[in-house]
Amino acid sequence: MGRIRKGRAASIWPLTRRLFFCVFAHLCLFSCATPEKPTAQLHWSPPPAPPPPIQTVSVVSQKSNVFPGWVQAYLTGGLRGVERLSAYRTAYVFIKEIKGNNDTAITQWALHFSVERELPRMVAARVQNRLERNVKTYPDYEYGVFFENAIKVFSNARYERAVKLDDFWFERLISVENGVEVNRREFLFLIMVAIEKNTLVDQINAIFPTIPLVPEPTRAQLNAISHVKSAFFTGF
Other residues' Cβ atoms within 10 Å of the Cβ of residue 69:
13
- pLDDT of res. 57: 78
Q: Which domain holds residue 169?
A: 55-230
- The answer to whether residue 35 sits within a structural domain is no
Residues 31-53 pLDDT 10s: 444 444 444 444 445 566 666 55
Residues 142-189 pLDDT 10s: 999 999 999 999 999 999 999 999 999 999 998 887 788 888 899 999
- pLDDT of res. 9: 43
First to last CA, the chain: 112
- pLDDT of res. 180: 85
- The answer to whether residue 28 sits within a structural domain is no
pLDDT above 90 for 18: no
- The answer to whether residue 33 sits within a structural domain is no
- The answer to whether residue 112 sits within a structural domain is yes
- The answer to whether residue 26 sits within a structural domain is no
- The answer to whether residue 236 sits within a structural domain is no
- The answer to whether residue 47 sits within a structural domain is no
- pLDDT of res. 181: 83
Stretch 78-88: mean pLDDT: 97
Written as one letter, the residue type at 63 is K
Nearest CA among 115, 117, 116, 145 for reference residue 131: 145
Domains of the chain: total = 1
Residues 86-121 pLDDT 10s: 999 999 999 999 999 998 999 999 999 999 999 999
- pLDDT of res. 52: 53
Q: In what order do the strands lie in the sheet with 163-177?
A: 55-62, 163-177, 180-196, 91-100
- pLDDT of res. 95: 98
- pLDDT of res. 56: 78
pLDDT above 80 for 24: no
Return the higher-pLDDT residue of 27 and 154: 154
Q: What percent of the chain has pLDDT over 90?
A: 64
pLDDT above 50 for 25: no
| DSSP state string for 125-171 | HHHHHHHHHT-SS-HHHHHTHHHHHHHHHHHH----S-EEEEEEEEE
Which of 14-23, 55-64, 113-122 shows the highest mean pLDDT? 113-122
Residues 179-225 pLDDT 10s: 888 888 999 999 999 999 999 999 999 999 999 999 999 999 999 99
- The answer to whether residue 217 sits within a structural domain is yes
pLDDT above 80 for 7: no
- pLDDT of res. 137: 86
Q: How far apart are CA 90 and CA 87, in angstroms?
A: 8
Residues 125-141 pLDDT 10s: 999 999 999 888 899 99
Phi, psi of 49, deg, nearest 5? -70, 140
**Rama region for 96: left / alpha / beta (φ>0; ψ in -120 to 50; rest):** beta
